[in-house]
Homo-oligomer: A and B are copies of this chain.
């Protein structure tokens, strides 16, 4: 094992409380251990093998449109690669939260790029990219 280091993570109190419950339910006694496991499983997530493969995907995201001008920002990202975005559907969950489902089609690497930009935007609370094949 290489050298142990510490890094600080900022999160809101409520999320931390729910995470602590989840940890206990999953048998963890130590937060660092639990976070390390989440990180490891993110790392082993299978990458699309061929970045030039012609694929489809649906990207589902939940966000608060008032934070960080997110509605504006996500529309901007989608237009900058508008050729791979077929269409999207938006449901207004309540005064603040939005569910948006975006249908993508193009080269694996392009889809990954758009999806990463959207999921990693500050204020996006959940984002999941579901890969589909066109070859079926």
In Å, the complex CA distance between A86 and B35 comes to 30
Pair B11/A36 contact, Cβ less than 8 Å: yes
Contact residues, A75-125 vs B (CB, 8 A): 75-76, 78-80, 82, 85-96, 98-99, 101, 103, 116-117, 119-120, 122, 125
A15, chain B: closest CB distance, angstroms: 6
Tallying the copies of this chain within the complex gives 4
Q: Which chain B residues border A99 with CB–CB below 8 Å?
A: 56, 103, 132
**CB nearest to A10 among chain B residues:** B32
Residues of A within 8 A of B (CB): 1-16, 18-19, 22, 25-44, 46, 56, 58, 60, 62, 65-66, 69, 71-72, 74-76, 78-80, 82, 85-96, 98-99, 101, 103, 116-117, 119-120, 122, 125-128, 130-136
